[in-house]
Amino acid sequence: MAAAPEWAQRAEQGHALALRLMAWIAVTLGRPVARLLLHPITLYYLVFAAPARRASKRYLTRALGRPAHWRDVYRHVHTFAATVLDRVYFVRGELQAFDIGLTGSELVDAQVAEGGGAFLLGAHIGSFESLHAVGSSRPGLRVAMAMFPDNARKIHKVLQALAPDFELGIIPIGQAGSTLAIREWLAGGGLVGLLGDRHIGADGPRTGNLELPFLGRPAPFSEGPLRLALLLRKRVIFMVGLYLGGNRYEVRFQALADFSLATDAGAREALLREALARYVALLEALVRESPYNWFNFYDYWCEDPPAATP
């Protein structure tokens, strides 16, 4: 059996710990004070999280098109910490402190009006929780995140403690009944959010992982989210909530694929590959536009030598 990828072994656990710390600071001290404390927190991670620091520098060198310096890595980690902090306020419904721009919302409005559900495909870039700002002005907008069970439990526990009245829609995936649960949510007109920039296990034609050019070097991407949309014959909308600094965010929606149209098996497969290539191209354009917003602090291109087996 293939070993679990590095991000699955440690990234979500670290994210849950960071979220718990940020939650205490945010609720106890308030956002202005909490933002000041982001600097020592960032320094701590720069000093003690060597693998994340190395991965950040490697990624930023590609995204920036020049050698990344310690200031770039600092800004990258600080941006991540800032979005984790703001996640607390988003789930608590405290949106008045934010200036949030919106592009492409007509796609979501039209989908909600039509019914039938759709997928929102995002990435570990910016803040997915900024979507709550969109939903707050659209009562008919129902979104559930599809996540692996272990990650869902960790994140759900922290966020639910922060906002007991907040309906945190999470559909566990990778287990019996997951596809049926997603199908039922979509049938009720809901939207299902997925993050598509991490792959599972080894690469190859039987794993659903494909290598595609990304920032000048092939990187593994999973076709799983798009294949699920193909299976259920649903539209896919690309979504991102970019952090622009301070209290500013920009939420964007963009049409990615419509799997409800293709009926021929060959045409569906071709559409799937085209959609995945388009997704990777959109992601690359975004990280070049906002390089400090992308939060995959691990060996994304699988360049490190494998660990020695004892």
Which runs of consecutive H residues, i.e. helices, occur in 49-177?
A: 50-64, 70-91, 105-114, 131-135, 149-162
pLDDT of 40 higher than 70: yes
Query: Where is mean pLDDT largest: 17-26, 196-205, 249-258?
Result: 249-258
Mean pLDDT within 255-271: 85
Range in 5-9, 59-63, 125-129 the model is least confident about: 5-9
Q: How does residue 43 score in pLDDT terms, banded at 50, 70 and 90?
A: very high
- pLDDT score for 207: 47
- pLDDT tens, residue by residue, 206-232: 447 889 999 999 999 999 999 999 999
Tokens of 248: 């500013």
Residues 249, 98: contact at Cβ < 8 Å? yes
- pLDDT score for 222: 92
pLDDT of 5 higher than 70: no
- pLDDT score for 256: 96
- pLDDT score for 261: 77
Q: Which comes out higher in pLDDT, residue 109 or 238? A: 238
* 3-class state of residue 34 by DSSP: helix
| Rounded percentage of the chain residues whose pLDDT exceeds 90 | 52
What single string gives the DSSP state of each residue in 126-138?
B-GGGHHHHHTT-
Cβ burial of 310 (10 Å; 0-12, 13-18, 19+) is exposed
- pLDDT score for 18: 66
Q: What is the 3-state secondary structure (H, E, C) of 190-205?
A: CEEEEECCCCCCCCEC
- pLDDT tens, residue by residue, 284-296: 999 999 999 999 9
Domain locations along the chain? 6-293
Mean pLDDT within 34-55: 92
Average pLDDT of every residue of the chain = 84
pLDDT of 151 higher than 70: no
- pLDDT score for 204: 42
Q: How far apart are CA 83 and CA 49, in angstroms?
A: 19
* Beta bridge partners of residue 52, listed in sequence order: none
Mean pLDDT within 156-169: 67
Query: Where is mean pLDDT largest: 27-36, 95-104, 248-257?
Result: 248-257
- pLDDT score for 150: 66
Report which secondary-structure segment, H or E, holds 301: none
Mean pLDDT within 173-200: 88
- pLDDT score for 2: 41
